[in-house]
Amino acid sequence: MKYQAPRGTYDILPEDIRKWHYIEDIIRRLTTLYNYSEVRTPIFEQLDLFQRSVGEDTDIVEKEMYTFKDKKGRDLALRPEGTASIARMVAERNLQSSTREPLRIWYEGQMFRYSRPQKGRYRQFYQFGVECIGSPKPIIDAEIIAIGWQILQEAKVPDVSLEINSVGCPECRDKYNILLKEFLYKDKDKYCTDCQRRMEQNPLRIFDCKNKTCQHLIEKAPRMLDNLCEECAQHFEEVKNSLEMMKVPFIVNPEIVRGLDYYTKTAFEYKINYLGAQDALGGGGRYDGLIGYLGGRQTPAVGLSMGLERIILSLEKSGFSFSEEDNLEVLIIPIGINPIQASIEMMQKLHEAGISAIVADEGSSVGSNLKYCDKNNVSFAILIGDNELKSGLYVVKNIKKKSQSEVKKEEVIDFIKTHEVVVK
């Protein structure tokens, strides 16, 4: 039987991994500049964690989670997103943020959702997130948004737009839900069955519905942005002012609600217009009540998440040329069996000096090995045969300059180091 990767998953091959490293290097560099530290959480959690935090009436919980029972019958789920695990970690470990500095952390890893696979949307996908925990200040919302914006700009993703909104706090949202329900009930029977149910449980979720009929019906609904309490309205104004000071362009979109129930106040998305239905690269918002809801102290927090596949796909669509990663620097070619030990010793010394090197098959010809160097962009070849063993002079070929030198074996590393800068 010939096996295949499960539907909605894929392999990242050596020729593609450079694309991932390109994005990951930018993420690591920028999060470090903003003083964020990396954390890693389990790939599966208790099912109840996601039901409580993400929301039982969301598409993720209702339709998309991979759930299973372990051997003791406990209900578990592969993580569909990262923030719930971060909130659980903070609550469980009672991670403290100082009065001067909030806790700044970031993560990257695989997430899982059972959805219809399509370009840029997979059942196993890679997501990174940036979370700032412990500050209620609007400037922190802007900081998080700016980090995501800067990552996309540094990655050279073209034509990105940032859309922001406020989904209010529980108090002003409760009042808004009464207005929204009054509007929705006028045409209740015209909405899809999911929306009819969500009218009772969480009417704000209807803005997330992809049904075209529902989208048309909701066009004239009252907006949360017009019904914010004074505190939430002031918070949103200060977020916008901070973004302007940071020179981050944005559009206010009152329909941005995000697909998760834990958001309060600020919500935002980064969008592009050339991936069809997969137009959102990521987004996030504030979640001031989540950590307390999961058993920790009441702690304000704000974060973002983005899908790496979407970013890579957007760059590929735009014709971006990913740079080549560092290639093998040295191929050591033993001529015959006698020089094998000397070849291995030379390889180990090169490794100690931080120079990538491998030993060629002693049964292969010098000509085929030199062709390998040309084809794979190898910088140097070291030829070691019986004559070289006797004389102590190794033949070092500079592949790109098409030159060769006889070098004392103890001076080979210095020779390569002094010439590799010129080669590159």
Domains of the chain: 14-169+229-317 (3.30.930.10), 330-416 (3.40.50.800)
* pLDDT tens per residue across span 347-360: 999 999 999 999 99
Q: In a 3-state reduction of DSSP, which class is residue 341?
A: helix
Kindly state the average pLDDT of the residues 317-346. Answer: 91
* Cβ count near 75 (within 10 Å): 12
Burial class of residue 195 (count of CB atoms within 10 Å of its CB; 0-12, 13-18, 19+) = buried
Beta strands in 308-392 (DSSP E): 330-334, 357-359, 380-384
Q: Is the pLDDT of residue 100 over 90?
A: no
* pLDDT tens per residue across span 363-397: 899 999 999 999 999 999 999 999 999 999 999 99
pLDDT of residue 277: 64
pLDDT of residue 58: 72
Most confident of 123-127, 200-204, 274-278: 123-127
* pLDDT tens per residue across span 186-232: 888 889 988 888 888 778 778 878 788 998 888 888 988 999 999 99
What percent of the chain shows pLDDT beyond 90?
70
Q: CB-hemisphere CA count at 13 Å for 181? A: 13
* pLDDT tens per residue across span 135-155: 999 999 999 999 999 999 999
Beta strands in 335-413 (DSSP E): 357-359, 380-384, 393-398, 403-408
What percent of the chain shows pLDDT beyond 70?
96
* pLDDT tens per residue across span 164-183: 999 999 899 889 888 988 99
By the 8 A CB rule, do 222 and 179 touch?
A: yes
pLDDT of residue 423: 38
pLDDT of residue 424: 38
The pLDDT-based confidence of 57 (bands split at 50, 70, 90) is low
Q: In Å, how far from its chain's centre is CA 131? A: 13
